Structure 1
Amino acid sequence: MRAVWCGFVLGVIGLQQQAALPSMMGWCVLALAWLLGVAVAVKAWTIVRRRARVSVDARRWAHAGWGALIFAAACSGFGYAAWRAELRLAVALPAAWESRDIEVSGYVVGLPSRDKIASRFLFEVESASAPIVRFPKTIQLVWVARDTPPPVLEPGSRWRLPVRLKRSHSTANFGVRDGEATLLARNVRATGYVSVPEHALLLAGNASGIGVTINRWRAAIRARIDVVLADAPHRGIVIALAIGAQDAVSTADWASMRNTGTNHLIAISGLHIGLVAGFAAWFAGSLWRRSAFVGRYWPLRVPAQKIAALGGALFAVFHAALAGFNVPAQRALWMLAIAALAFVGGRRLASSVVFAWALGLVLLTDPWAVLSPGFWLSFCAVAAILFAVSGPRRRVRLPHDPDAAPVHPLRRAWQRCSNAFARYVHDSTHIQLAVTIALAPLTLYWFSQIPLIGPVANAFAIPWMSLLVTPVVLAGAVLPMPLDAWAFQVADGLLRIQSVVLHWLATPTWAVWHLPRPGPWALVCATAGVAWCLAPRGWPLRWAGPIAWLPLLLPPPSGPPHGAFRLTALDIGQGNSVLVETAHHALLFDAGPGPESTHAGERVVVPFLQAQGVTALDALMVSHEDSDHAGGAPAVLDGVEVRQLLASLPQRHALWAQARKVGAERVQCAAGQRWQWDGVDFTILWPDERRLRANPNDQCCVLRIRTAGRTGHAGHGYAANPTPALTALLAADIEAPIERTLLARDPDALRAQVLLVPHHGSRTSSTEPFLDTIDPLIAIFQVGYRNRFRHPHPGVFARYEARHIELTRSDTDGAVRIEASGTTLSLERYRDTHRRYWMDR
């Protein structure tokens, strides 16, 4: 059965890497492959039964049979995941109904999140005014505050809402998690907002069901914590430990726990569920054993151990439900349930069998779980523990001396306690070291860093959270008022102490090791090294295991050659963010929107820079103060080292103070500034520092990037003329008046092969004389999918098409990467080279 589940998991993982779902021919090939695997397995086992099992020939056929069985199981997993994907993708909002007014009726599901700006929630649609046959059943909505704050939405409350929807779409960037996959895993097939909040109507009667009831309990606990802790700094962690909702965890807490490798303690994982299940099992068993006090002798009929196992498993179900059934909670729940059922049935299952069943059942219920970090971190941590403790344990037996003097009972008790404590410390250290080693490659892959201080931080934080904070939080969740308030306040006080310790541990510069995101072969080598290093005692050359980790330590991908540049235009929704790299330098032009919109700075830009191995920016250029350009800059200043802030911002802007705080040089952007990096010239063409304008768009920094070569211009096509330099022009949000000014000043300075389209293609920019003068080969439109500004304007987009310019759009192509080297421009679109079957579906 372990082999079957392993094959099934491999098939599910393989499907999630496909660019398209199987066609009819693909299904036929898959069915034939499955039949072939089953036939070979049956034939192999038939031969093994007929011949002696100990013969060499029989062993070969047995191995062939197991391989065929795993192959058939992989085909089954691939087909099952593809079938589930076909069913889910068949329900979608038609493109013709995007951004149109629709009235939907239904109820709130899950646990809504709310701040001063908006409420975000999932909505289960019962009926819709649009005549769509298969209308999305679950949609994700935002209720934006206008004149009055958005209402407090209760799980299960039924509403009639006017909404505007769009198909499930998210940003797509190199080295950053795919948001569309997350939406698909949650079965969210459309997203949107409440278009006319004044017309929203609360309907009579609430939805019913077990899920709704549990979510109401979760909402009530959260509301109570909000009242008790109010503005307490660690209120978000208390909420996360109580009900599994992590949206209220502060940025400071996330940073501290991520840099110390303790962020797994925020989630309700197997550690917490195991703790709760253990306490529930002890409580249920104790009550059962004491049934004689009420005149019953139940242990004579059913052993108390079995009641304890069932009680622990049942309470684990309840606790996992409060956690929202996240992947780590599902893993712990399945393992506990399988082990409890086996124990009650009088069977003893190996740990690997329980692990394999839990792994298969998680993917059977949710084939998209493999796309989340929690799946890999949770299951790999448990696998590392089981593998590390699987070897023979060393036992030391002291010689018995019959002539020795008798030992005092107190001394004997002290020796037993000290030996037990020493064994506990030894086993805990062994397990913690095994988990740290096993998760290091995965932590590097998902978060581009390895917290070197992690083992020390976890040695303090795990018992602190498990033995003190978590029990107090859970007690607060079940105690009545005002006892719950005392419990939550005590938990916040304990978290304050923990925060001080973790902050002190994360202070040294060496505490966190930032590395670029490893490739697949580096991960395979690291996995082999982990398995070799954690092998049981007696395995040969265990000390050589870390040698396989060397590919993880390779330097980041080399930059372009000397005299060339690489330009990566990120997909950050509506806004600008472009990374410009030369051989040894990096410049970030704008940082996208911030907390007021999509949090692109911390959600996309910083993870992208870390995944690419860009730990320091030689310059951060903020073109102007509009939020879709400057909103993400604070997150960049906090997330990576910035040596210079070059910006066109008012002196009062908060970014200047933040740049001073992090030690970055501060320079006001002005026309005429020039510098050279690695044979590439950088020139600022605008703004004119002598003119102060009220419109921020008129003060935009316009940056020209040019390789070495004689001035001139190439014709259309990707192969440029050998004589001219290759040039990129980043025009930010300039509009027609500034375009005319630049044309009048120096038309030759504007000629470029690559153009970041001014003002996202608005109708107030990209005038025809401006385009004719630049005559670009490639034009980059950084626009949000179905953005409210309707950028790019159809007429402006038609101007570019009429000139046969190679056009890229972040809303359809994702991030784009352009490299100007020698005499050639190369263009890569993310959604072409990293396509998955759910994109644009």
Structure 2
Amino acid sequence: MRAVWCGFALGVIWLQRQAALPGIGGWWACVAAGCVALGVAVWGLRGDGTGVACEREAADGRGFGHEFSREGWRAFRVRRVVGWSAVWCAAFSVGFGYAAMRAQTRLAVSLPHAWEGRDIEVVGSIKGLPTHGDKGERFLFDVETNDARLAAFPRVIQLAWISRDVPAPRLEPGERWRLTVRLKRPHGNANFGVRDAEANLLARNVRATGYVSAPERARHLVGHARGFAVLVDRWRAALRARIDSVLAAAPHRGIVMALAIGAQDQVSPADWQLMRGTGTSHLVAISGLHIGFVAGLAGWLAAAVWRRSGWLGRHWPLRLPAQLVGVTLGTMFAALHAALAGFNVPAQRALWMAALVALAFVGGRQLARSTVLAWALGLVLLVDPWAVVSAGFWLSFCAVGAILFAMSGRPRRRGAQASRDDPDEEGSGARTWWQGLRATLARRLRALVERLRSAAHVQYAVTVALAPLTAYWFAQIPLVGPLANAFAIPWVSALVTPTVLAGVALPAPLDALAWRAAHALLDGLVAGLQLFSGPRWSLWWLPQPHAWALASAALGALWCLAPRGWPLRWAAPLTWLPLLLPSADGALAEPSGAFRLTALDIGQGTSVLVQTAHHALLFDTGPGPESTHAGERVVVPFLQAQGVTTLDTLMISHADSDHAGGAPAVLEAIEVRQLVAALEPDHALWPMATQHGAQTLPCVAGQRWQWDGVEFTVLWPDAGALTGKPNDHCCVLRVSTLPTRASTNAPRYTALLTADIEASTERALLARDRDLLRAQVLVVPHHGSKTSSTEPFLDSIDPSIALFQVGYENRFHHPNAGVFARYVARHIELARSDRDGAVRVDVDPVAPGEDGAALELERYRDTQRRYWKEQ
């Protein structure tokens, strides 16, 4: 079954990498391949039991036995290899087809484009745990009816209830409401190296997102939704409310809540930053480690009580073995704990493994650990084929696989054998009391040392195995992670988690005592982790690796963890060197004279990264906490995935929140050497940048500098006080290649970044120098607003490529239809972030692309196409 489940998993994983779902021809090919593979498997494995018997006889030196000759035996072994390979192929076809069928069923239900942005009245119930915030409520809504009368209306939608004049009500799971909402199709920001939001929506079966458009018309209906999931969610919500009341202002209240019910939305940014920097953020979630530890503890306690039932005048072990009771109750506790966690992927993995071990024990069988892991892998993907797009899936299964692989070559000495080898324990009948005590202490000490060695080896295996995945998913490797985890794992697992769960089980007011004690233990944990997180070198930032670099590092991890005697184990770290190469999205090939411009998809706002061979400039940072958190959620992860750990210049064009809102997040996470901005002198960003060690200066026309054969020139605003509205004094930046020594007459290639300038500023720039405005690449002014992109301005620039940074179905209706038509009429190559995702333009006059052009345009949704992505 290991081969079957592993082949099934590979098929599911392969489907999630496809740009489109299979058509009729693809389905027939899949069915044909599966049938052929199944036939080959039956042929190859026919008589497999006889072959195994012959193999055992040959290993025992008794010849080949039966009717097999040596040549026949070789042929039989070849047939077995072919047969098991065919089993993999058949299981692969089944996994691929199953995942494709589930995907087609789920994608068949979606909101029609015609109903986007229109008021729709829906009736349904609150699904899962709503997220409470200062700005309102975010929640999933299970739709029962809709007034659009659409047969294929999405069953689950994601909504925001924004507090405006009247605060949003406190929503609870299972409540039934009648709401007027405005929806759009499940669309997420699409950027190189940043997690795919649309895949997450598909995995949760969210087929539309939106907000409550008419809160005054909302009606709370009588009754509640029913079902086991609703009961669990209501229980989790009650626990969350109780923890809130007990630890209202406590700094680590969010961690207690995360360990109790799996909800991480209340964990403070300071705690997240500390745990990510020390590689211990996995402890915030209810992981498989917690479930396994607590379930084992519960099973041990249940078995211990059952064995001592004689104290109560009962003899339960005579009717039912204590081991069976312990295993059964431990598995039930694991299921309960997984339900509290919301059945995340690590919790599912731990639950399936515990259930399989329990079933095997009840049935009197013993399963290999690799078989248990393979069954858990298959069952997780059978329930949720989209689990493979989450980091938790890979980190959880790879961690357990690494532990099993690393420990497979470390046989443990049994206690009896250790006793026989101990000279102090020989002649036990003649020992004195002191000699017996000394022998017992020595034995306990050896056992403790062996456990510490095993724990250290496990931690080493997990660290080595997960390092490549950590670099891929998080663009970082915490160098202090092994030491921090060696302290944090036992602290959280043995002390904090049981104390939190004691609070879950105990009635009031005892639960409050347990949660306060857990918070006091967390104070000690945070104090210890701060000791590890002090040095700057403790966190190693790496660019997101190429696929082949990731494969090379994974092979090196297996090489390192191989049993002793494996050849050239010392050379395994050499396979990790490709992780140090530039990001998977490539880098500038030429040392000078070229630049790359990447317009990020951050919704409604602007953020553009300009890179030369050795320098980087970020022009605006997108919205911040006041809107979509794009600076923290998109810009910073993108920079880290590209390997940009230092910005030579951060340029903030003006104070509007969709341009400057994400700047604090960038300053916190990325080293910024210089802030250039068109901001009022009393703006909060000036002291914040100084506090983070950045030089500051205002953005003024005439500023000019060169990096790696590329010239940067500020064209606007003029020196002096910033008057008028912010759009009137936006920074306008011109980026242009310089002539090389080999060709001083070569054409210059220019990009123009115009922020939110409007017609008046365009006329002022035209009056100064029209030739200075000519550019091949234009970041469209003011997101294509009707107040910008005048005809004379476009004629003077004469761009070949124009980039619109706009939000999907944004409320400003950018770009304006008439303005967009001006660009279309000029036959300009157009790219829009709402349709194309992030857009990258490589400008390289020295080494032009395959078509001979010095400009190369890449749209994220074209090159990183997946079947679920909106386009």
- Residue 725 (1) aligns with residue 748 (2): yes
Which residue of 2 is the match for residue 715 of structure 1? none
What one-letter code is carried by the residue in structure 1 that aligns with 2:588? G
- CA deviations on 1:360-391 (whole Å, 9 max, x unpaired) are 00000000000000000000010011111112
Post-superposition offset of 1:590: 0.5
- Does residue 609 of structure 2 align to residue 586 of structure 1? no
Give the one of 406, 427, 430 matched to 1:388: 406
Question: Which residue of structure 2 lines up, in the alignment, with residue 802 of structure 1?
Answer: 825
SS at structure 2 position matched to 1:59: helix
For residue 827 of structure 1, the aligned residue among 854, 857, 860 is 857
Tell me the distance in 1 between the aligned counterparts of 2:794 and 2:607: 22
Q: CA contact under 8 A between 1:529 and 1:545: conserved in structure 2?
A: yes
Provide closer, same or farther for how the CA distance between residues 62 and 141 of structure 1 changes in structure 2, counting only shifts above 3 A. same
Residue 623 in structure 1 maps to residue 653 in structure 2: yes
1:611 to 641, 664, 668: 641
Residue deviations 1:454-506 (CA, integer Å, cap 9, x gap): 01100110111111111111111222222222222222222122112212211
Q: CA deviation at 1:641?
A: 0.8
1:133-184 deviations in whole A, cap 9, x for unaligned? Answer: 1000000000001012211100000000000000000001111110000000
1:745 aligns with 2:768: yes
User: What amino acid does structure 2 have at the position aligned with 1:288?
Assistant: W
Q: Which residue of 1 aligns with 2:523?
A: 496
Partner of 1:791: 814
Structure 2 segments unaligned to the other structure (5+ residues): 56-63, 65-72, 846-852
Matched, 1:44 2:44: yes
Q: Is the 8 A contact 1:19 1:837 kept in 2?
A: yes
**One-letter identity of the residue aligned with 2:775:** A
- Residue in 2 aligned with 1:717? none
1:460 maps to: 487
Q: 2:318 is matched with which residue? A: 300
Q: CA deviation at 1:20?
A: 0.3
- Are 1:92 and 2:119 an aligned pair? no
Distance 2:632 2:249 in 1: 23
1:818 and 2:845 are equivalent in the alignment: no
Q: Matches of 1:181 and 1:753 in 2, distance apart?
A: 35
1:532 aligned onto 2:559: yes
Contact kept, 8 Å, 2:588 with 2:594, in 1: the verdict is no
The structural deviation recorded for 1:277 is 0.8
Alignment of 1:136-285 (within 5 A): 136-285=154-303
| Shift, 1:353, TM fit | 0.7
1:676 to 698, 703, 706: 706
Measure, in 2, the Cα distance between the counterparts of 1:526 and 1:814: 30
TM-fit CA distance, 1:23: 0.5
Give the structure 2 partner of residue 25 of structure 1.
Answer: 25
- Which residue type is aligned with residue 11 of structure 2? G
**One-letter amino acid of the structure 2 residue matched with residue 605 of structure 1:** V
Deviation at 1:540, TM superposition (A): 3.0
Deviation at 1:295, TM superposition (A): 5.1
Choose from 431, 441, 450 the match for 2:468.
441
CA-CA distance at 1:392 after TM superposition: 4.3
Q: Would you say 1:116 and 2:139 are equivalent positions?
A: no
1:682-693 matches, within 5 Å, as 682-693=712-723
- The alignment partner of 1:136 has SS state of coil
- Offset at residue 650 of structure 1 (A): 1.1
Could you tell me how far 1:41 is from its partner in structure 2?
0.7
**For structure 1, which segment, 442-451 or 498-507, has the greater mean C-alpha deviation from structure 2 after superposition?**
498-507
- Contact 1:681/1:707 (<8 A) preserved: yes
What residue identity is the alignment partner of 2:627?
S
Amino acid at match of 1:91: V
Deviation at 1:539, TM superposition (A): 2.8
Does the CA-based 8 Å contact 2:680-2:722 persist in structure 1?
no
Which residue of 684, 693, 696 maps to 1:663?
693
Alpha-carbon distance, 1:96 to partner: 0.3
Cα pair 1:570 1:578 within 8 Å, conserved: yes
C-alpha contact 2:331 2:351 (8 A) present in aligned 1: yes
Deviating more after overlay: 152-161 vs 537-546: 537-546
Deviation at 1:749, TM superposition (A): 1.3
Deviates more, 1:110-119 or 1:43-52: 43-52
Out of 580, 598, 607, the position equivalent to 1:568 is: 598
Contact conserved, 1:682 with 1:703, CA < 8 A, in 2? yes
The answer to whether structure 1 residue 559 and structure 2 residue 604 are counterparts is: no
1:694 deviates by 2.8
Post-superposition shift, 1:130?
0.6
Q: What is residue 850 of structure 2 aligned with on the other side? A: none
**Structure 1 residue aligned with 2:58:** none
- Structure 1 partner of 2:368: 350
Q: 2:60 maps to what in 1? A: none
Partner of 2:336: 318
Post-superposition offset of 1:47: 6.5
Partner of 2:794: 771
Kept in 2, the 8 Å contact 1:559–1:584? The answer is no
1:301 CA drift (Å): 2.4
Residue 754 of structure 1 is matched in structure 2 by 777
Contact preservation (8 Å) 1:560, 1:582:
no
For 1:392 and 1:197, the matched residues in 2 are separated by 63
- Is 1:471 aligned to residue 501 of structure 2? no
Alpha-carbon deviation of 1:408? 3.0
Measure, in 1, the Cα distance between the counterparts of 2:245 and 2:681: 40
RMSD between superposed Cα atoms in Å: 1.7
- CA gap 1:691/1:738 in 2 versus in 1, 3 angstroms: farther
Aligned-partner SS, 1:204: strand
Q: 2:440 aligns with which of 413, 421, 424?
A: 413
In structure 2, which of residues 373, 389, 398 is the aligned counterpart of residue 371 of structure 1? 389
Give the distance between the partners of 2:466 and 2:719, measured in 1 at CA.
52
- Partners of 2:423 and 2:735 lie apart in 1 by 82
Using the alignment, how far apart are the partners of 1:85 and 1:442 within structure 2? 26
* TM-score of the aligned structures, taking structure 1 as reference length: 0.97
For residues 1-53 of structure 1, give each alpha carbon's deviation from its aligned partner in whole angstroms, at most 9, with x where no partner exists: 00111100110110000000001001011111111101111111236578765
Structure 1, unmatched stretches of 5+, are 711-720
Could you tell me which amino acid in structure 2 is paired with residue 236 of structure 1?
G
Q: Give the structure-2-normalised TM-score.
A: 0.93
Spell out, residue by residue over 1:790-811, the C-alpha distance to the aligned partner (whole angstroms, 9 max, x if none): 1111111111111111110000
1:480 counterpart residue number: 507
Q: Distance in 2 between matches of 1:30 and 1:321?
A: 36
What's the CA shift for 1:293?
Answer: 5.0
Task: String of CA shifts for 1:371-427, please: whole Å, max 9, x gaps.
Answer: 000000000010011111112426466453769974433323322332222112111
Separation in structure 2 between the aligned mates of residue 49 and residue 43 of structure 1, nearest angstrom: 14
Counterpart CA distance in 2 for 1:166 and 1:655 is 34
Evaluate the alpha carbon distance shift between residue 220 and residue 676 of structure 1 in structure 2; reply closer, same or farther with a 3 A threshold: same
SS of the residue corresponding to residue 102 of structure 2 reads helix
Letter in 2 for 1:829: R
SS in 1 for 2:342: coil
> Which moves more between the two structures, 608-617 or 485-494?
485-494
Identical aligned residues as a percent? 64
* Alignment of 1:633 onto 2:663: yes
- SS class of match (1:408): helix
Q: Is the 8 A contact 2:545 2:582 kept in 1?
A: no
Matched, 1:82 2:100: yes
